[in-house]
Structure 1
Amino acid sequence: MATIDRQTATLALAHALSAAERGLPVFPLSATKLPALRSPHHGEQPPVRCRGACGLPGHGVHDATTDPAAVRALFAAAPRATGYGIACGRAPHRLIGIDLDIDTAYGNDSVGALQQLALHHLFTIPPTVTVLTPSGGRHLWLTGPADTTVPNSAGRLAPGIDIRGSGGYLVGPGSVTAHGRYRLAPGTAHLAPAPCPRALLRLLTPPPRGPRPPATEDARGRRGEGLVQFVLAAHEGQRNTRLFWAACRAYEHGFGDALADALTAAAVRTGLTETEARAAIASAARLTQGRND
């Protein structure tokens, strides 16, 4: 087992160095897909919010570098690393990751959802680097312009579509995790990350919003009715996806619990069982709570 671990770590370093040569800032990851180096400020009180200004390794994505000597030093300090992360939003590529997750439990069709967004907003995803994940999902690599900052988001575009932007990272191809290996999709290894279509970029960078006044009961009622109708319009194969998306929006706007019964009833009318509906709504509540904390 020790020999296999050493081989895995050696391969992880080799893949990371190859990525760094192409201008992609990298840092070591553990088998859990988390940074492999412990923070040098661990346990300090009060907590230290450092992004690497102290000069020590152990700041996750803020350690990412394209310098080969620095990459080797990071991996030497993390001998149990099994993979590497690629920092998004950094020059020269300013990488944007489109993470298309596969959630068989809730029937999320993230690929179909992206296709629907493309049809509705009139853009096409160009041929680009694509990384296949152990769970059956995929990461699409796109590049952004220098004057645009793309934020990270989870499920904002549609259920199962996460965005890795400034301050985020992607697991690099060749990395080994507890669930398997990340690998380049056939036919994409020779490609460079393609520019993000302008219409998609606008969706990823919503304009800043000023303070919102508290929603009135009438406004909440109208939004709630719209979400219920959205669930009722689901066809077979869309029911879990639509319910989960609607529940996320309701919880994000602060009336998820109040709308849960109506969403459940709507989902049951489309063919889900009450148990399935309640489970999807509970999952949406947990997800949005995690985002808002």
Structure 2
Amino acid sequence: MAPTDRQIATLALAHALNAAERGLPVIPLTAARLPALRSPHPGRPARTACTGQCGLPGHGVYDATTDPAVVRALFAAAPDVAGYGIACGRGPHRLIGIDLDADTAGPATGQAAGALGATDAHADGALRQLALQHLFTIPPTLTVLTPSGGRHLWLTAPAEVVVPSSASRLAPGIDVRGTGGYLIGPGSLTPHGTYRLAPGTAHLPPAPCPRTLLRLLTPPARPARRTGGANGVGGASGAAHTLRAPEDGEGLVHFVLAARAGQRNTRLFWAACRAYEHGFGDALAPALTEAAVRAGLSLHEARATLASAARMTAGRSEAA
């Protein structure tokens, strides 16, 4: 007998409370892996300036908490709960998620590194190649298996380091969940299956990220585009306005989600170009990828379109 929605939500809450007890800030998610609480600022431009200061829930990862009473309140207020997210970059653990994509997942990590060929483009192989090239080792760490066959490696960062989210910037098939993003907690249910702990890793704490890998994950920040004046999109006053991410990209994500057959690549390319031009393309790439897949593109098509947009707009934000 299939579990009821109430049973699914109850199980998700139990898993979330267990994570919160271990110091991991959590939020309720839908089966689509999106925050389950709706924004309290629908259609208002001020939404981009509020990260929870209004005191109301519905600010995505900014709702994340370890307080069990608040966790219960969030889950009670959220419709269609099927899982939970764990905020990255937040104390005390300051998680980083290394997402090894299933579409490019290669042989198991335990395979000898010497077997890697020059053309090995698998996510596992790409990570091993990076480790060989830059002389670091991924330590044993808590690992979560995704319903599609991918893996999330949980690592931690020092308090003074901010790791941005990115999609395939590190290597093909490797996404990074950093500050402002979240990881899907083990036990979360999706239409394709359940996120679960990898055998032999449940007892492991998230390991510190190797320093060399940490440097690869924190490239120099791209300057944000300042708009206004004759060439800008700001008001007549010409006052400089710095765009922020990922909140400023919510409209772009919804634009992609609304795409119909025949529009999907075009809409994704347009949205990705706007994001990269305004300096938050890498931060928004995971959300745009997920929106494109939900709209009907394959993961491979979505990644290729994002990569094209990144190449097309390279240097535009610096020159603006």
Q: Same fold (TM over 0.5)?
A: yes
Is the Cα contact below 8 Å between 2:123 and 2:172 reproduced in 1?
Answer: yes
The CA deviation at 1:73 is 0.2
Change (3 A) 1:25 1:210: closer
The runs of 4+ residues in structure 1 deviating greater than 2 Å are: 43-49, 207-211, 251-254, 279-283, 285-293
The one-letter code matched in structure 2 to 1:196 is C
The one-letter code matched in structure 2 to 1:26 is V
Change (3 A) 1:253 1:17: closer
Change (3 A) 1:44 1:17: same
How many residues matched? 230
The CA deviation at 1:42 is 1.3
The CA deviation at 1:45 is 5.4
CA deviation vs aligned residue, 1:176-207 (integer Å, no higher than 9, x gap): 01211000000000010000001100100123
| Residue pairs, 1:112-151, within 5 angstroms | 112-151=125-164
Question: Which runs of no fewer than 5 residues in structure 1 stay unpaired?
Answer: 212-250, 255-278
Indicate the residue corresponding to 2:256 in structure 1: none
User: Is 1:166 matched with 2:179?
Assistant: yes
In the aligned structure 2, how far is the partner of 1:210 from the partner of 1:5?
45
Is the Cα contact below 8 Å between 2:27 and 2:64 reproduced in 1?
Answer: yes
Indicate the residue corresponding to 1:4 in structure 2: 4
Indicate the residue corresponding to 2:305 in structure 1: 285
In the aligned structure 2, how far is the partner of 1:64 from the partner of 1:281?
32
SS of structure 2 residue aligned to 1:124:
coil
Is the Cα contact below 8 Å between 1:173 and 1:183 reproduced in 2?
Answer: yes
In the aligned structure 2, how far is the partner of 1:11 from the partner of 1:144?
30
Identity value in percent? 72
Change (3 A) 1:156 1:70: same
The CA deviation at 1:286 is 4.0
The one-letter code matched in structure 2 to 1:136 is G
Change (3 A) 1:286 1:205: closer
Indicate the residue corresponding to 1:56 in structure 2: 56
Is the Cα contact below 8 Å between 2:276 and 2:309 reproduced in 1?
Answer: no
User: Is 1:87 matched with 2:87?
Assistant: yes
The one-letter code matched in structure 2 to 1:175 is S
| Residue pairs, 1:247-266, within 5 angstroms | none
SS of structure 1 residue aligned to 2:183:
strand
In the aligned structure 2, how far is the partner of 1:210 from the partner of 1:57?
31
- TM-score of the pair, normalised by structure 2: 0.66
Indicate the residue corresponding to 2:114 in structure 1: none
SS of structure 2 residue aligned to 1:155:
strand
The one-letter code matched in structure 2 to 1:103 is D
In the aligned structure 2, how far is the partner of 1:204 from the partner of 1:145?
13
Question: Which runs of no fewer than 5 residues in structure 2 stay unpaired?
Answer: 106-119, 225-272, 278-298
In the aligned structure 2, how far is the partner of 1:18 from the partner of 1:160?
30
In the aligned structure 2, how far is the partner of 1:184 from the partner of 1:61?
22
Which of 177, 196, 209 does residue 183 from structure 1 map onto?
196
In the aligned structure 2, how far is the partner of 1:74 from the partner of 1:172?
16
Indicate the residue corresponding to 2:293 in structure 1: none
CA deviation vs aligned residue, 1:224-268 (integer Å, no higher than 9, x gap): xxxxxxxxxxxxxxxxxxxxxxxxxxx9999xxxxxxxxxxxxxx
The CA deviation at 1:287 is 4.8
RMSD: 3.1
Is the Cα contact below 8 Å between 1:129 and 1:188 reproduced in 2?
Answer: yes
Is the Cα contact below 8 Å between 1:57 and 1:74 reproduced in 2?
Answer: yes
CA deviation vs aligned residue, 1:146-203 (integer Å, no higher than 9, x gap): 1111111111011110111110100000000121100000000001000000110010
